[in-house]
Amino acid sequence: MAPSETDTVPDLELYARTLHDKAISVLADVERWEGTTEIQGLDKYKSVVKAEVKFLEKILEFPDTIKKEHVQSSNVSYLDAVRNTVLTSSDVVSVFKNFSFVQPITQTTNPTKKKWSVKVDVIADGGMRWYKVNARNVRALRHDLAGFEDSDSEPSDSDSDFGSNSVSTLGAPDSDLVDTFSLAGLPVLQQARNFLAAAQQHEVHFRVPAITFRFSGISRNEDAFVDEHIIHRLESMGIRVQMRHEFTAPDPSSPTSATSNLTPSLNLDLTTLIALVSQLSHTRNPQPTLFSDRESLRTQAAQELIRPILPSFHALFHNRTLYTTESARQKLMSVVAIVGGPQERRRAEFLFRASESGPAFTQQDRDLWLLYPPPLPRVEVMPDAPSDRFRDLLLRRTNPRPAGSNRPSHPTSANSQTPPRAIRAKFNAFHFDVFGTGDAKRMTTVTAITWIGRSLSDAGVTGVAIATHEPRSLAEQKMGGWIRSPSMGGGRIELQGGIGPRMGSDVQGLRELLVVV
């Protein structure tokens, strides 16, 4: 029961201590996730929680001065609901992530504003589900319906048990989007429309993320008026609604594996093709000490000992059609001809066989894939045909606008500014062809280039479907006499002789390898 206006200081102190204990519990979970997960945005989440802890500790130093407003303004219930959402969701990838979007001019009262943003509290299912958490109670939502909420404000994400209708700035979408007050203009419904618009403009592997609104302060059927005018309206908009006591139910749309979100056809980058044929990938228990003069190969061998890459590829490629661009195929064959060993060259040729039973390939060829479970990978080749937005990015990279220039930008440009340094320094015409063709074909591009997604987003090219993996370089010439035991049971690899021949002196070939890997 919420304390009344005449509640005593001890009541306020007790409630403040309860909030403090809960905030400490949330902070402990966030710090644990920092060390055990790769969830993005935990630093933002942690800073907000720490600010709450600091504030509560400060007011608890002088209990006699605690005011009702101090606990009414607390965001602890909201932060706790975010924590519970992380705990009850699958494959969480991010928290507190902002997404900008362009609102159609017919849906805003401020046509001069070009972009807005929403803050997604939790992103789960590998990016395919966005959660908006609302810790407000029935009284606060009834205030919205009655018109008591200031129409220039978004609903707060959190309400204390005191029943306050205080406004929180956490995650508040832009107030310029709120139209004249009506049921359709309720802040929570406008917020839902903003989420739907943002999701449409931020596809994940060419699919629109689904949206769930979680109300941690309300039970289903607790208030018929709120159910009818808010909950049912949200559901009619295509938003999944979860109420208090429903958070442990598994999401019916959750994917069964981390690879479920990828497109049915995959575009393989050159780095992935190299990893597929590398002798390092096809050697059981490679010894890092073999590569005493190559730090990168030592690192990759150590990674291969812990996380063999072929099983990951098999899971990723299973029941999917594999493609690569003509330019990637040509560059692969050029690179393996210079720095690859005989088995690596044969595997590269095998990837592009016409069929599973092609007469040009023998059982010896198939024996080169002993560590890759059947069916063996086969890659089809498609012409280079990058999308318009990648063509535009290449134009901006090669012909950036000078500062203060009035020269008009390319008509299809999503961002007329000069691309970020990573794009200008590392991203060459070959990359534009490979990743741009995957974008045009609406395929997930698989690559070992981990920086590329962020750099493309910084350059204004958002929503590019990319899956990354650890690199594996061509290594057979460095491994020399290492051969595989024909018995899969023992899996023993023996060193028969010394280190193999070093790479040739073809400087151009080495330069090519460094450019693309």
Does domain 262-401+411-517 sit in CATH 3.90.1150.10?
Answer: no
Q: What is the pLDDT of residue 177?
A: 37
The CA distance from 452 to 445, in Å, is 11
pLDDT band at residue 260, thresholds of 50, 70 and 90? confident
Those residues whose C-beta lies under 8 Å from the C-beta of residue 382, and which sit 6 or more positions away, are 323, 324, 325, 326, 437, 441
Query: Is-contact 327 382, C-beta < 8 A?
Result: no
Condensed to tens digits (0 to 9), the pLDDT of residues 434-444 reads 999 999 999 99
Amino acid identity, position 118 = V
Res. 500: pLDDT tops 70: no
The CA distance from 47 to 18, in Å, is 20
Res. 298: pLDDT tops 60: yes
Q: What is the pLDDT of residue 183?
A: 67
Q: What is the pLDDT of residue 258?
A: 58
The first and second tokens of residue 58, run together, are 């400060």
Which of 103-112, 323-332, 408-417 ranks highest by mean pLDDT?
323-332
Sheet holding 321-325, edge to edge: 379-382, 321-325, 265-268, 444-447, 466-468
Looking at the DSSP bridge assignments, the partners of residue 381 are 324
pLDDT band at residue 102, thresholds of 50, 70 and 90? confident
- More confident site: 33 or 292: 33
Complete DSSP assignment for 103-124 = PPGGG-S-TT---EEEEEEEEE
Res. 265: pLDDT tops 70: yes
Q: What is the pLDDT of residue 178?
A: 36
Amino acid identity, position 464 = V
Condensed to tens digits (0 to 9), the pLDDT of residues 53-62 reads 999 999 899 8
All CATH 3.40.50.1010 domain ranges of the chain, comma separated, are 262-401+411-517
Q: What is the pLDDT of residue 366?
A: 83
Choice among 83-97, 194-208, 402-416 with the minimum mean pLDDT: 402-416
Which of 78-87, 168-177, 407-416, 456-465 ranks highest by mean pLDDT?
78-87
Q: Provide the b/e sequence for 138-157 (b: ≥16 CB within 10 Å).
A: bbbbbebbeeebeeeebbbb
E-only strand ranges, 252-395:
265-268, 321-325, 379-382
Res. 105: pLDDT tops 70: no
pLDDT band at residue 120, thresholds of 50, 70 and 90? very high
Q: What is the pLDDT of residue 394?
A: 82
Q: What is the pLDDT of residue 462?
A: 83
Least Cα distance to 470 among 445, 444, 449 occurs for 449
pLDDT band at residue 458, thresholds of 50, 70 and 90? confident
Q: What is the pLDDT of residue 252?
A: 53
- Residues of the chain with pLDDT > 90, as a percent, come to 50
Least Cα distance to 472 among 337, 358, 334, 310 occurs for 310
How large is the average pLDDT for residues 287-292?
85
Sign of CA dihedral 221, 226, 231, 233: positive
Q: Cα torsion at 434, 436, 441, 442 (round to 10°)?
A: 110
Condensed to tens digits (0 to 9), the pLDDT of residues 361-403 reads 788 888 899 999 989 999 999 999 999 999 988 887 776 555 4
pLDDT band at residue 35, thresholds of 50, 70 and 90? very high
How large is the average pLDDT for residues 453-472?
89
